[in-house]
Amino acid sequence: MSIGSKVSRWTMVHFGCAITALLAAEVLLVAGYADPLAGLRAPATLAGVHLITIGWLSLLMLGALYQFVPVITNTTLYSQRLPLYSLLAIAPGLVAMLAGFVALGGTPFLATVWLPIGGSLVLTGFVLGAINLAATLWRARPLPLPADFVAFSLVFLLLTGLIGLGFALAFALPRPPAFLLDLTGRGLSLHVAVGLGGWFTLTVMGVSYRLLSMFMLAPDEPRRSTYAALVLTVGGLTLLVAGGLAGLWGGMAVGWVEALGATLAGLGVICYLADIIEFYRARKRRQLELNSVTAAAALTLIALALVLAALAMAWGVLGRFAGAIGYLFVFGGLSGLGLSQLYKIVPFLTWLEVFGKRLGKGPVPRVQDLVNERRARPGFALYFAATVLASAALACAQPVLWKIAAALQLVATVLITIELWRARHPDPNTKSSLVRPPGMPSPPGKPKTPSPMAAAAATLASSPSHPIQGE
């Protein structure tokens, strides 16, 4: 099998659409159209939120999973066409949903019927993506542990889409049934928990267990804490959903069930973070690449958001600070981690497409030759600093400071996007730097003039046994 045969055809397209949605959402924030200080239920805020959750994070994760799942299961993707069909449903569906939110805000020339139309298309796209990934996983049983996280996350993806479609119908129907009205009244927190906790967090956990260990050359054998992370997170979220639905439609007083579920899920994430800390501690690559450093920053912000949420819940002020904590979790944690891993995945897939076919025929550049970490570092530093500043401004209800922080975050995202663009469009005549990979010891008796085959070997060694390449 050729070295580039496992590159997913539509992964880069998903990444491009995702970055576009992220930039669009940040423009709406800077322009003041989507304002977190106005409340999560404001139609304009809902438009920005769904650009982030569906356009940015969901497309990013689906694109990554189309590449990642076949590699960790050592098989091929069930279908190379379904990702395109899924994207062709999600993208126009998201646009229709945005039109529906604008109509919900009182714009006369648009109608709220676009909400269920768009929601149905988005859910269709989710179903197509989930079928493709689930069929791929099913053929590879028994699954490695990271794939189990992904399998459960797909269930929560579909549940998130179903609840969202219920909201859309409740807003659009002239006389919605009682169970949909109940959903709009108390179901928002359930929708957020299933989406952020079940879909996004479980996917991040499954993917990062494999990616971070490979990037840092850390031991990746599952430990008791890894199994605990899976069982506690999935079990806690299941309790949370069951308790929420029982209270919503059964009229039961099950607040303690929801509290227990949230606690168990939080303990599961703590087990996951303990495993990641062990990866960093036991890694063989002592000099970290930029994507591993920024991943550590993003995971730190996820831990900080969880601690702040627990403290706010204990003090009974979670509702007051939910927007600030959610912003820190979504933009600082999930989005920061997504951007950091794109900085590694985009140049590697590009390297496979441009230079992989030349491997063994002469010197080729390393993957790291396609990026300039010194040039990209300020953009990532500004992004994380601006995100923390924006969250603090939201917590303190400081609109001027919030606008400044949002503008800085947009600038940082543009800088990172430019670096991704440069990595995606390398000079095909780029020469190999023949620089020893960071953290690797000096070979004894280094030859004065390396042979072409030695240069090719050095190129591969700079990206050893890569998870997005496969064996």
Least confident interval from 80-89, 147-156, 184-193, 318-327? 184-193
**pTM strictly above 0.85:** yes
Q: Is residue 374 helix, strand or coil?
A: helix
- Angle at which helices 82-104 and 43-50 cross, to 10°: 170
With b for 16 or more beta-carbon neighbours within 10 A and e for fewer, the 438-457 pattern comes to: eebeeeeeeeeeeeeeebbe
pLDDT over 90 for what percent of the chain?
54
Which of 122, 141, 160 is the last residue in one of the domains?
A: 141
**In this structure, is residue 441 part of a structural domain?**
no
Task: Count structural domains, the chain.
Answer: 2
Amino acid 204 reads V
**In this structure, is residue 404 part of a structural domain?**
yes
* Whole-number Å distance between alpha carbons of 410 and 404: 10
| DSSP state, residue 358 | G
With b for 16 or more beta-carbon neighbours within 10 A and e for fewer, the 358-386 pattern comes to: ebeeebbbbbbbbbeeeebeebbebbbeb
**In this structure, is residue 11 part of a structural domain?**
yes
| DSSP state, residue 244 | H
Provide the 10 A C-beta neighbour count for residue 174.
5
What are the distances in angstroms from CA 58 to CA 46, 298, 361?
A: 16, 18, 39
* Whole-number Å distance between alpha carbons of 295 and 277: 11
Which of 95, 110, 141 is the last residue in one of the domains?
A: 141
Angle in degrees, CA 173, 174, 177, rounded to 5: 65
Where does residue 420 rank: exposed (0-12), middle (13-18), buried (19+ CB within 10 A)? buried
* Whole-number Å distance between alpha carbons of 241 and 236: 9
Between 212 and 290, where is the model more confident?
Answer: 290
Whether residue 453 is predicted with pLDDT greater than 60 in this model: the reply is no
Answer yes or no: are the C-beta atoms of 229 and 271 closer than 8 Å.
yes
Answer yes or no: are the C-beta atoms of 89 and 124 closer than 8 Å.
yes
Token pair, residue 147, equals 């794939």
**In this structure, is residue 215 part of a structural domain?**
no
**In this structure, is residue 155 part of a structural domain?**
no
**If you average pLDDT over residues 328-338, what whole number do you get?**
94
Give the chain's length: 471
Which of 99, 119, 141 is the last residue in one of the domains?
A: 141
* Whole-number Å distance between alpha carbons of 395 and 19: 27
Q: Is residue 233 helix, strand or coil?
A: helix
Amino acid 396 reads C
**If you average pLDDT over residues 70-74, what whole number do you get?**
85
Domain boundaries, position 37: 1-141
| Distant-in-sequence, close-in-space partners of 252: CB < 8 Å, separation ≥ 6 | 246
Q: Band the pLDDT of 318: cuts 50, 70, 90.
A: confident
**In this structure, is residue 209 part of a structural domain?**
no
Say how many Å lie between the first and final Cα of the chain, rounded: 10
What are the distances in angstroms from CA 400 to CA 31, 32, 286?
A: 12, 11, 42
Q: Is residue 440 helix, strand or coil?
A: coil
**In this structure, is residue 375 part of a structural domain?**
yes
Q: Band the pLDDT of 467: cuts 50, 70, 90.
A: very low
Least confident interval from 62-71, 126-135, 453-462? 453-462
**If you average pLDDT over residues 32-60, what whole number do you get?**
89
Whether residue 427 is predicted with pLDDT greater than 80 in this model: the reply is no
Q: What's the pLDDT tens digit per position in 90-137? A: 999 999 999 999 998 877 777 889 999 999 999 999 999 999 999 999
pLDDT at residue 433 in the model = 58
Between 286 and 11, where is the model more confident?
Answer: 11
Give the closest residue to 192 by CA, choosing from 129, 149, 237. Answer: 237
* Whole-number Å distance between alpha carbons of 64 and 339: 12
Give the closest residue to 419 by CA, choosing from 304, 240, 290, 320. Answer: 290
Q: How many helices (H) and strands (E) does the chain have?
A: 17, 0
**In this structure, is residue 5 part of a structural domain?**
yes
Return mean pLDDT, the chain.
85
